[in-house]
Amino acid sequence: MTDVLPVLYPLLGFMVIASVIAIEAKDLLSTVISVSAAGAGLAIVFLLLGAPDLAITEVVVEVVSMVFLIRVAVRRDDTTYDQARDMFNVAAGLVFLGLIVVASVYAFRWMKPFGAPEMTMSRPYLERAFTDTGAANAVTAVLLDFRAYDTLGEATVIFAAIVGAYAVLRHVGRKRDVALRNEPHS
């Protein structure tokens, strides 16, 4: 796992730079493209670390979200975001950044070295995935057999989100229909 580290650090730096550009850019289109660039870097990181499932998911979701954001957010009338930066916000952000760095220095001291995680829970899953479920892809075996209940909860969350989106966004369309239909006698 250590042989990918020389490639990994520039990719992580690229992602950090893309995220900072996404925050600092004044144009919404530049922000969306920078977020997508960070997502592409993350997909390559997943691929290098041996997680092709996550890499495919990341690429596809990033493409869809970029289409969504460009279609929905950027095609408004006012696509520039120009607002003076508040000094209190900057100071608070820097203070919390320092706190996070200090805390993570203490936290990372307790962690296992990179690439050698402590697998107390997940080792039986990996060992028994093929014999117990018959699925050659261990990720799918965990998702849909060992932890299928979690996947059901995940599907429920997506369902609730889409119902909420319909409830919020459908209002405009329905009001338009009602307004057009009831125009003569209302």
Partner 1 sequence: MSHSGMSLIVREVTKLVTGFIALYAAYIVLYGHLTPGGGFVGGVILACCFILTVLAFGKDFADRMITDAGAKIWDVFGAMLFLVVALVGYRAGAFFANFLPHEGNFRLFSAGMIPVCNVAIGIKVAACILGAFLALSVFRPGQVDEEKE
Interface residues with partner 1 (CB under 8 A) are 52-53, 55-57, 60-61, 63-64, 67-68, 71-72, 76, 130-131, 133-137, 139-141, 143-145, 148-149, 151-152, 155-156, 158-159, 161-162, 165-166, 169-170, 172-173, 175-176
| Cβ 11 to partner 1 shortest distance, Å | 20
| Cβ 175 to partner 1 shortest distance, Å | 8
| Cβ 81 to partner 1 shortest distance, Å | 19
Query: What angle is formed at CA 154 by the lines to CA 148 and CA 157, rounded to 5 degrees?
Result: 150
| Cβ 54 to partner 1 shortest distance, Å | 9
Distance CA 36, CA 64 (A): 10
Query: Would you say 99 or 160 has its CB closer to partner 1?
Result: 160
Q: Which of 89, 5, 97 is nearest to 45 (CA)?
A: 5
The first and second tokens of residue 155, run together, are: 């599907």
Task: Find residue 27's DSSP bridge partners.
Answer: 80
Query: Would you say 14 or 146 has its CB closer to partner 1?
Result: 146
Cβ 142 vs Cβ 125: under 8 Å: yes
Query: Would you say 17 or 54 has its CB closer to partner 1?
Result: 54
Query: Would you say 80 or 156 has its CB closer to partner 1?
Result: 156
Query: Would you say 92 or 152 has its CB closer to partner 1?
Result: 152
How many helices, marked H, and strands, marked E, lie in the chain? Answer: 7, 0
Task: Find residue 80's DSSP bridge partners.
Answer: 27
| Cβ 55 to partner 1 shortest distance, Å | 8
Would you give the distance in Å from CA 129 to the centre of its chain?
Answer: 27
Q: Which of 158, 121, 159 is nearest to 142 (CA)?
A: 121
